[in-house]
């Protein structure tokens, strides 16, 4: 059973094909996210890449917004108005002719890295700030922590997003991330914090003992757990 895992991001759409044991088969691929990122444009990009994948039996999609029963309700980094009540799962199944499951992108990645013990918080540092919460391995879906107030009338994502990293530099940005982690530990009293995403490499300080980093390949194994 081969699974095509797709991660839709604000800057790019990434593709991995995974075997049953989580091994990557074939080459990882990425395509720029269409601009504007309309549903039709994003789905067409996915189908163009999927058509070139030799073998897959099912598709798991991580989407950067709230997803319920395969329907998207927002997409802050793609365009909220474009993605209200879009039946992403059904549209992809129709176009691909394959079974599809679609969830929030951080939820999918969290399924790949959560260890199943106590309270685990997952953060992805990229175009925005993705988040997922697990209690004893059970997912609390669609947390969307990045859009909660943090300080000075701004949200976590406002202060930690990729645009801010580029604007203020890695050193000041790292301090903001550390401040956010301190606040989140007081809020959730987590037992472990998992950090991933393309911007995690820009952190310039050692993290507390409760923090572990993960790769996209590791996280995308959540594409398999999505079918458990």
pLDDT (average), residues 51-63: 95
pLDDT (tens digit, 9 = 90+) per residue, 61-80?
999 999 999 999 999 999 98
CA–CA dist 121, 192 (Å, integer): 7
CA–CA dist 44, 31 (Å, integer): 11
The pLDDT confidence band at residue 27, using thresholds 50, 70 and 90, is confident
**With respect to CATH, is domain 109-219 assigned 3.30.420.40?**
yes
The pLDDT confidence band at residue 54, using thresholds 50, 70 and 90, is confident
Cβ density class 34-48: b for 16+ within 10 Å, e for less: beebebeebbebbee
Q: For residues 195, 196, 199 and 200, what is the CA-based torsion angle, rounded to 10 degrees?
A: 50
Residue 208 has pLDDT above 90, yes or no: no
pLDDT (average), residues 108-136: 97
The pLDDT confidence band at residue 26, using thresholds 50, 70 and 90, is confident
pLDDT (average), residues 9-25: 94
**The predicted structure's pLDDT at residue 4:** 98
Taking each continuous run of H as one helix and of E as one strand, the counts in the chain are 8, 14
**The predicted structure's pLDDT at residue 151:** 94
Domain 3-103, what fold? Answer: Nucleotidyltransferase; domain 5 (3.30.420)
**The predicted structure's pLDDT at residue 146:** 96
Measure Cα distances from 179 to 129, 165, 210 in Å: 14, 15, 15
pLDDT, averaged across the chain: 96
Contact 39, 86 (CB under 8 A): yes
Helix residue ranges per DSSP H, the chain: 39-50, 88-96, 105-113, 156-160, 162-168, 170-188, 216-219, 222-225
CA–CA dist 6, 8 (Å, integer): 6
The CATH 3.30.420.40 domain(s) of the chain lie at 3-103, 109-219
Q: Which of 54, 57, 31, 53 is nearest to 43 (CA)?
A: 31
């Amino acid at each position: 059973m081969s699974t095509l895992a797709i991660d839709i991001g604000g800057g790019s759409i990434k593709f991995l094909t995974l075997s049953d044991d989580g091994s990557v088969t074939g080459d990882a691929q990425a395509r720029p996210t269409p601009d504007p990122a309309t549903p039709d444009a994003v789905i067409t990009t996915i189908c163009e890449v999927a058509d070139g994948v030799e073998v897959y039996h099912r598709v798991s999609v991580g989407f950067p917004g709230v997803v319920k029963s395969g329907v998207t309700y927002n997409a802050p980094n793609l365009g909220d108005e474009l993605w209200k009540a879009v039946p992403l799962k059904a549209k992809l199944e129709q176009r691909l002719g394959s079974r599809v499951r679609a969830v929030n992108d951080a939820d999918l990645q969290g399924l790949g890295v959560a260890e199943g013990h106590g309270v685990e918080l997952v953060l992805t540092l990229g175009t925005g700030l993705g988040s997922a919460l697990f209690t004893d391995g059970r997912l609390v879906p669609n947390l969307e922590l990045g859009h909660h107030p943090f300080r000075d009338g701004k949200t976590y994502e406002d202060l930690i997003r990729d645009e801010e990293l580029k604007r203020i530099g890695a050193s000041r940005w790292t301090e903001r991330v550390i401040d956010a982690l301190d606040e989140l530990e007081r809020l959730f009293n987590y037992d472990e914090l998992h950090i991933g995403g393309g911007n995690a490499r820009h952190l310039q300080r050692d993290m507390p003992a409760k923090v572990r980093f993960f790769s996209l390949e590791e996280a995308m194994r959540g594409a398999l757990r999505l079918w458990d």
